[in-house]
Amino acid sequence: MTFALSPDTVLLYWKLPQSLNAPSKEIKYRITQQSSSLASPVSIGAKQFENGTFSAALSDIVSCIEDPCQAKIANLRSSADYKFWVAAIHFTRLQATFAEDDAISVEAVTRTMDIPGTLRLENVTSESIMLRWNSLEPQNLPEKIDVQYRLVSYN
């Protein structure tokens, strides 16, 4: 299962295998992704979730000993469709070229968030401001828009 967190970041969840053929600390996970610009899936770096927080560094291999497993995947393109897979690998086989077929998760599909276009001020008065921008995806209206502002001078 995946969730878009921002225009370039998604959160990927998966469950530990129901039956392990080794202690859970010996099992590692390789995440692969595919977008419309890629002909086939490729391994991608992810930030592993451990001790209640995500690591700062990206890694091609992540660990998980507690359900649900999760990893944060960044540096994606905005408004793009992605497919993700998770492969369970015993630590002794990390250098293997191919993963075992039955150790690969089902496909998780998500779309990264849109980013607003250039912000334009229109109809500025002493009591209100109208903001306009063009969306990259006008057919998909946002569910929520947050506006933050700061008063820099007051007459």
What is the dotted CATH code of the domain comprising 2-111? 2.60.40.10
Q: What is the pLDDT of residue 95?
A: 60
Say which residue, 94 or 17, is predicted with more confidence: 17
| N-term to C-term CA, the chain | 52
The verdict on pTM exceeding 0.75 is: no
Of 38-47, 52-61, 96-105, 113-122, give the lowest mean pLDDT range: 96-105
Residue identified by tokens 């933050």 is 148
Reported as a single tens digit per residue, the pLDDT across 128-145 is: 888 887 766 666 677 777
Residue type, 110: T
| Domain locations in the chain as residue ranges | 2-111
Q: What is the pLDDT of residue 102?
A: 52
How far is residue 33 CA from its own chain's centroid?
10
Reported as a single tens digit per residue, the pLDDT across 85-131 is: 998 888 777 665 555 555 678 889 998 887 777 778 888 888 888 88
